[in-house]
Structure 1
Amino acid sequence: MGKVVGGEVVTLDEYLRVENAYLSCLRRLAERTGVTSLVVRSLEIRADHPPFDLESGMELSLDLAIEVCREMLREGGVWCRLHRAPDFYVHIGYDYYMYVGTSAASPDEADRCAADGLFLEEDWPSPYLDIEGEDSEFTVES
């Protein structure tokens, strides 16, 4: 921490507040959609000793998926796409972007996420979503 972003020094406390806001928003959106687990896709191991023993195609509980997202937000030892076709996905991108596609988004959930200090963009699909290829089963708008 200690990076300057937008002219402000980001403290550890502020980083953790925002990280927790992201993950709380993710949990609320998943639960609203009825998602209790997510499937690992496009797994990349980025460390000699990754913090999770994951395989592509593996199904993760929502709790574990959220911890994997925490690791990805921290640019840790793994990266993957997490999906529950046909109506939910979460991808973590560069520069602290989290892309969530869900068929059950609602204005009240968006307002709750925004109240946590998150900036939301509607109808902005994940650049990690391969609509032409293996992700063609998705019918959600992000």
Structure 2
Amino acid sequence: MLNFRITKYDPKNRNSDGHYKVDEWTCPSDVGKTFNGIEFKASEYFKIEEKYINAVIECLQSKHIKHLRVVDLESKFLEDNLSDKDNQWLVREEFKNIKLFEDKKLEIDDLKIVIKMILRGFLWCRLEINEQFSLRFGWDYYMYICCFDLNEGTIKKISETGLFVELLEPLYDMKRYDFYIQTCRADEDGHTLVEEEILLKTMTREKIKKGLDLSDEHIGDHNFDITPQNYAMFKNDFEFNFTEYEYCLYCDKIYI
């Protein structure tokens, strides 16, 4: 699949190493700061956010895709983020009502809500359909879409909104992964420390999906906690001691 970067950042402002040379806002918390002599206002943030969402919908419609799956969900601090007094100008009631879990099927209306929550820093996940479409967000308001192609009409519509569509080299082989079991223990401050990491030589995405009862549309390459409820798929490869340790499955992508 092809890897597209769709952002507000003009490629002409990058140096030969790809570093962006212009000082611009990179997250909603920058509202109120001054960039190039101009105050960054909330209205400008919401305007750009809407362009990102519309760009995603434009890409999905061009592919006749009506939903995506939640993949690699990170929502541990969602409630804290939503209740933070500094975030209240970004909170919407639908953020509190939507129920998210790994592999959840999101139709377009819910996709819009989740994309807003990701861009505003309340949670993180990838939004995908296995080997068809992948949407992910990086630091500093970067958005990436992987798909087999984007037609010229779609790219033109997105570009006309002021966003920039760039075709990049793929970062990693999307069909090759290494899976590790990490043995963890909490320190005195409650931070999780990895004490040991074991490569699972026979683990595959298909085994992960079957063991977790995930849909065919889930890619099966996410990280997750291993618990007494889901460890059965690993018991022939690893001996667990849940009374003393915590465990997680770490998926290491093979970078090109």
TM-score by length of 2: 0.47
- How many Å separate the matches in 2 of 1:110 and 1:29? 9
Which of 84, 101, 113 matches 1:55?
A: 101
Aligned residue pairs total 134
Aligned pairs for 1:1-142 (under 5 A) are 1-5=31-35, 7-45=37-75, 46-48=77-79, 51=95, 52-76=98-122, 78-125=123-170, 131=174, 132-133=176-177, 134=205, 135=219
Letter in 2 for 1:30: L
Q: Quote how far apart the aligned CAs of 1:47 are.
A: 2.1
Q: 1:136 to 1:53 in 2, by over 3 A?
A: closer
Greater per-residue strand proportion: 2
- How many Å separate the matches in 2 of 1:56 and 1:136? 10
Q: Quote how far apart the aligned CAs of 1:17 are.
A: 1.0
Q: Quote how far apart the aligned CAs of 1:4 are.
A: 3.2
- How many Å separate the matches in 2 of 1:43 and 1:88? 17
Q: Where in structure 1 do 4 or more consecutive aligned residues deviate above 4 Å?
A: 134-137
Query: Which secondary structure state, in structure 1, belongs to the residue aligned with residue 165 of structure 2?
Result: coil
Where structure 1 has 5 or more consecutive residues not aligned to the other structure, the ranges are: 138-142
Partner of 1:140: none
What is the root-mean-square deviation of aligned Cα atoms in Å? 2.4
Q: Quote how far apart the aligned CAs of 1:130 are.
A: 6.8
- How many Å separate the matches in 2 of 1:136 and 1:44? 15
- Is residue 82–residue 90 contact of structure 1 (8 Å, CA) maintained in 2? yes
Identity %: 25
Q: 1:40 to 1:104 in 2, by over 3 A?
A: same
Q: 1:7 to 1:33 in 2, by over 3 A?
A: farther
The structure with the largest alpha-carbon Rg is 2
Where structure 2 has 5 or more consecutive residues not aligned to the other structure, the ranges are: 1-30, 83-94, 178-204, 206-218, 222-256
Q: Quote how far apart the aligned CAs of 1:12 are.
A: 1.2
Q: Quote how far apart the aligned CAs of 1:5 are.
A: 3.9
